[in-house]
Structure 1
């Protein structure tokens, strides 16, 4: 391998993954040039033989947000890595912030988008540009409407601040409570939570059934990343109205909404809500508000009845969206503003991308904490 000082791989060199292969291993194999001889080890590693063997050991980092990479970095110290073995951090899609962290720690990485940077001691440098996607899913979990709602509810409960001397909630509410809050049948909630157990997000303890049976949230950070990643990629199915006002002042937007929706329950999310909960940016582009689906038409009529608010196709400063009841039920109060849960605000910012993704990670560190 010493003859390969640097190698830049382009999309036509991408190989497809066959069904049934281990995903992190498949991600790494996807970025290795086809002319290099490779073999699999019993422990899931990949041996590259170019005259001298080097073992690449895929390590899974979930969605690829900075928080996911930090979680992996914390665990690397306790991992036994043999000499001549290179850990390769893998994820569904490495964010720019995650890539910066990996580069700072000089760690090899690859993702399912086909991006990668792997350097071996023998001089092989795999550096992927203009990536081609490997696959669309990275988990066996089906993100149905019910699983999305249960995940958001469980995560929002976990993100609630402690009350007094009481520690933060790390459990999972009983089926009846989750069903009532989300509007999903207890039987379907039970199926969703069983699938979360299988994924390792949650775990049952105590008796299998009965009043002392309980479930805890084992990996809230991974569940948050996976849910938010799906939320950001999935097409929106809520009802929406794009609204424009002449004012550029976010405080004026909030005042307008508050006065026009005095009799309708609403919550803020996105940039304005994030600024109220965890200030990050001096430039606030817009205001996202949620109302329950049953209130959507009344809310739209109330807002557009104001002389300074009109519906537009583009350039909106206020976005009115419908939301399931649990989004409104989990609301909090920031100074002068009803806000969605930090978990929902985070997901909305992740969906924004760009500066929104940076604001999301700031919010996650300051307000969510996992």
Structure 2
């Protein structure tokens, strides 16, 4: 019936169950041997016969999809030409790029968790659900901690070719972390390769897709904890000047982000009322916050501070004596903003980031 691997059997059983839940659809697994694919399913859709040829994988990325499409099309050639045939790839996990590629080729897919695309005559189906948790966690870990520093570097220097050790040095991480991230990006088909072995270099070839994926992940997780303060009798520009001077005197490392930084990079709003920044906590930081006249508040704040580490201050820029987070970091922070922050993020991306 199918290959002996257990995960394939489970996937096909799950796929059959989901098919049978569709209205006016009956599904039957073909048991004859040999089969041209991992499975052959006979569908009856509103009285019409449709054959599904199925290729099963544990996980699917763009490069896996290319191979699966080739295998499915080859399998289709072995069947009578008069049959109504729909090709389908099923997997425990399919990357967003893999799904998009399959839809573009009019190839159906099913993913554990319930996502399904079925371009069958009379039974067109498109359902998007969260990916299986182990794979979802693996994807999320790519955009957090040390791994995120590698992603950040590649986005900021997306036209540059990097060897592993060079990328590790610029990203302030270990070569092992770089290798992990690059392996995942290769599976997503988001990097170009040059050379082999120790001379192997990579360049980010799909910066738009990578930034889209990171932004999507940021939207789905809670916003970082922010301490809120109110400094009376001063507008945003004056407050920023005061913060910059006091933090500079005390050698406190920081980077302004969110709306204020976006406005400096690519003016969009007529005025900004709040300042939000990342700061590396030190023995002096709380005293300096008091010196600028800030008092802790629950609401009505005009100063927000996120405690962070040096990795999140990568690629900050000093403009008019004020340290701003990188445009990429500002864009991501705006995903958790308020009011017109998403519009501001889109404007910043278009005017300053460029992809």
TM-score of the alignment, normalized to the shorter chain, above 0.5? yes
Task: Quote the Cα distance in structure 1 between the aligned partners of 2:258 and 2:296.
Answer: 19
Contact 2:314 2:326 in 1 (8 A): no
> What SS does the corresponding residue of 2:157 show, helix, strand or coil?
helix
Contact 1:300 1:320 in 2 (8 A): no
Q: What TM-score, normalized to structure 2?
A: 0.62
Which residue pairs with 1:271 in the alignment?
259
Which residue pairs with 1:183 in the alignment?
172
Deviations, residues 147-190 of structure 1 (Å, cap 9, x unaligned): 222112221233xxxxxxxxxx3433x33333334432222222
Q: Select which of 170, 177, 187 maps to 1:198.
A: 187
Once the two structures are TM-superposed, the CA of residue 20 in structure 1 deviates from its matched residue by: 7.9
* Structure 1: 5+ residue stretches without partners: 1-17, 56-84, 93-111, 159-168
Q: Select which of 196, 217, 220 maps to 1:207.
A: 196
Once the two structures are TM-superposed, the CA of residue 126 in structure 1 deviates from its matched residue by: 8.7
Are 1:216 and 2:212 counterparts?
Answer: no
Contact 1:343 1:368 in 2 (8 A): yes
The CA RMSD over aligned residues, in Å, is: 4.9
Once the two structures are TM-superposed, the CA of residue 247 in structure 1 deviates from its matched residue by: 4.6
Task: Quote the Cα distance in structure 2 between the aligned partners of 1:187 and 1:181.
Answer: 14
Contact 1:181 1:326 in 2 (8 A): no
> What SS does the corresponding residue of 1:267 show, helix, strand or coil?
strand
Over alpha carbons, which structure has the higher Rg?
Answer: 2
Which residue pairs with 1:149 in the alignment?
149
Is the helix fraction higher in 1 or 2? 2
Once the two structures are TM-superposed, the CA of residue 262 in structure 1 deviates from its matched residue by: 2.1
Task: Quote the Cα distance in structure 1 between the aligned partners of 2:28 and 2:352.
Answer: 45
Once the two structures are TM-superposed, the CA of residue 316 in structure 1 deviates from its matched residue by: 2.1
Q: Select which of 235, 248, 252 maps to 1:262.
A: 248
Which residue pairs with 2:232 in the alignment?
246
Contact 1:247 1:253 in 2 (8 A): no
Which residue pairs with 2:278 in the alignment?
290
Are 1:363 and 2:348 counterparts?
Answer: yes
- Which is bigger in relative contact order (C-alpha 8 A, separation at least 6)? 1
* Structure 2: 5+ residue stretches without partners: 1-7, 30-36, 52-85, 87-93, 97-111
Contact 2:334 2:341 in 1 (8 A): yes
Task: Quote the Cα distance in structure 1 between the aligned partners of 2:176 and 2:211.
Answer: 23
Number of residue pairs aligned between Structure 1 and Structure 2 = 290
Q: What TM-score, normalized to structure 1?
A: 0.59
Once the two structures are TM-superposed, the CA of residue 276 in structure 1 deviates from its matched residue by: 0.9
Task: Quote the Cα distance in structure 2 between the aligned partners of 1:203 and 1:361.
Answer: 27
Task: Quote the Cα distance in structure 2 between the aligned partners of 1:279 and 1:248.
Answer: 21
